[in-house]
Structure 1
Amino acid sequence: MLEVGVTWDESGTAYPTVVLDVAERPDVADLPRVHALDGVGDISTALAVAGSSAMLTVTLTRPVRTEFTIGFVLPDHAEVLAHAAVSGTLLLATTPPSAEGDHPLWLAIDIDGPSMVAVLTAGTDD
């Protein structure tokens, strides 16, 4: 992961965003193109928290099969994770926001918000 933040669309809607380093994962780098051509397909997510680390595993089964995990640091990235949980969406950028081009191919994935909230808040009741 290179950075996290928020991307705003033309209508003013904010999307929690993760810029991924896909240099070593050409399969992940190609996902936005594949999904633009073949549709979103089937995506599932699962979040696990251990200490100050949160690991989001993203599994795709259609139109292609792949799985990858994005590492987050808590509490630094807690706001982006909470925003993704509430909105039910996380935008995955496979090119940096500063990359040339008006419409980079990024991938918006559905997040299992209730499960993510449960995992994020599990350790806060102590």
Structure 2
Amino acid sequence: MGIMLYPNDGDVPGLDVSWSYSGFHMFRQWLAEAEGFVLTEMHGYGGDRPWTGVSTTLTPLLHHPDDGGPDLTPAQCAAMLPRLEEIARRPPAGDDPDVLGGRVEDLRRLIAVLRRCLDEDVGLGFG
């Protein structure tokens, strides 16, 4: 059982990126660290820090329920894309090289999914 992010265009066997729930949590922790904050300090992740206290275009991805919740809009996808591409080009140091390689590979796949969302003007679905 896990989570899949996909362009919500009705193309069931189409492009997607998926993780186990724990893998997705670790991926989002990594992105939050790249943005300069600790995800587990945030409201909804066991902490009390409000999301209004961080400034990142990645908030829609980081502060979205794993299951359910609305699709991210094409506008939200467009806003996140430049920062995600920057992280993929210059990933944060500190991870084991194999772990870092896997995260960057997942990030590149997510970037491809977001580009498809923009090309087709559809939302990013969580399933």
Shorter-chain TM-score tier: under 0.3
Q: Compare the two structures and name the one with the higher strand fraction.
A: 1
Q: Compare the two structures and name the one with the higher helix fraction.
A: 2
- TM-score scaled by structure 1? 0.26
